[in-house]
């Protein structure tokens, strides 16, 4: 099986994977192993979208890693002791820029010293009044254990999560249907939108809007049996 190991300082883990029986490649892999933490996994999905992937632990902080030694994880994958689960992604296209998130798409104040004012529409229906705060976190179920959890103290398994970050007045977090379309209209910015660990960002100024919805693309995550 052709395996690409994504991450930094991979020489040691590549040696272990070869010992187990993998063929290590740097292009056209059958599976991808993310060697690092949760952020590395998101970068791996961004670089190699749609290819089945799994996480190998490099540090103590890796929520998505199986609680097994890396060698055992590699052996299970090589021997086919896994299933592949599809996870939804979110996307937004604005002024020629397309951002796609496995975990979330975030609209955030550009200057951390200044709150933004914005409105939120779900399927063209305005929710709440004008909101003042740091912005919103729009999350997938897969990403609900990350930034969404830190904002809401909760997770979810189906749908799209909408969380309000540091609002001056308490706004109720929501879990919407998977086919929902969320529009954020900036009344007073500047703000920016970005996805996961992707360096690409979309600047948003006063009066500008961005629409976030389920992507046609999916992630394929390896789950050990």
Q: What is the pLDDT of residues 161-212, one digit of tens each?
A: 999 999 988 778 999 999 999 999 999 999 999 999 888 999 999 999 999 9
CATH architecture of residue range(s) 2-80? 3-Layer(aba) Sandwich (3.40)
- Percent of the chain topping pLDDT 90: 85
Query: Kind and range of the H or E element at 184?
Result: strand 181-188
Indicate the CATH number of 89-216 among 3.50.50.60, 1.10.1660.10, 3.40.50.920, 2.60.200.30.
2.60.200.30
Q: Assess contact for 1 and 31: CB atoms under 8 A.
A: yes
Query: Kind and range of the H or E element at 93?
Result: strand 82-94
Stated pTM of the model: 0.92
Distance of CA 175 to the CA centre of its chain: 16
* Among the listed residues 152, 159, 85, 147, the one whose alpha carbon sits nearest the alpha carbon of residue 122: 159
Q: Assess contact for 107 and 202: CB atoms under 8 A.
A: no
Task: Locate the domains of the chain by residue range.
Answer: 2-80, 89-216
pLDDT for 60 equals: 67
Sheet holding 104-109, edge to edge: 174-176, 160-165, 135-139, 104-109, 191-195, 201-204
Residue 141 has pLDDT above 90, yes or no: yes
Q: Which residues contact 88 (CB under 8 A, 6 or more apart)?
A: 140, 141, 142, 178, 214, 215, 218
């Amino acid at each position: 099986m052709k395996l690409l190991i994504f991450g930094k300082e991979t020489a040691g883990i590549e040696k272990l994977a070869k010992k187990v029986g993998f063929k290590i490649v740097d292009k056209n892999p059958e599976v991808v192993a993310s060697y690092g933490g949760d952020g590395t996994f998101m970068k791996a999905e961004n670089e190699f979208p749609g290819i089945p992937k799994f996480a190998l632990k490099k540090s103590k902080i890796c929520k998505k890693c199986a609680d097994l030694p890396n060698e055992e994880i590699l052996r299970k994958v090589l021997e086919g002791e896994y299933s592949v689960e599809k996870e939804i992604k979110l996307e937004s296209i604005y002024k020629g820029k397309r951002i796609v998130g496995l975990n979330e798409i975030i609209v955030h104040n550009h200057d951390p010293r200044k709150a933004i004012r914005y409105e939120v529409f779900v399927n063209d229906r305005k929710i709440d009044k004008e909101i003042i705060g740091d912005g919103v976190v729009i999350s997938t179920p897969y990403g609900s254990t990350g930034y969404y959890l830190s904002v809401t103290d909760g997770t979810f398994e189906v749908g799209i999560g909408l969380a309000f970050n540091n609002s001056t007045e308490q706004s109720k977090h929501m879990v919407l249907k998977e086919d929902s379309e969320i529009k954020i209209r900036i009344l007073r910015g500047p703000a920016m939108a970005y996805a996961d660990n992707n360096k690409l960002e979309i600047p948003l100024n006063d009066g500008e809007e961005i629409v976030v919805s389920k992507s046609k693309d999916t992630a394929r995550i390896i789950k050990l049996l």
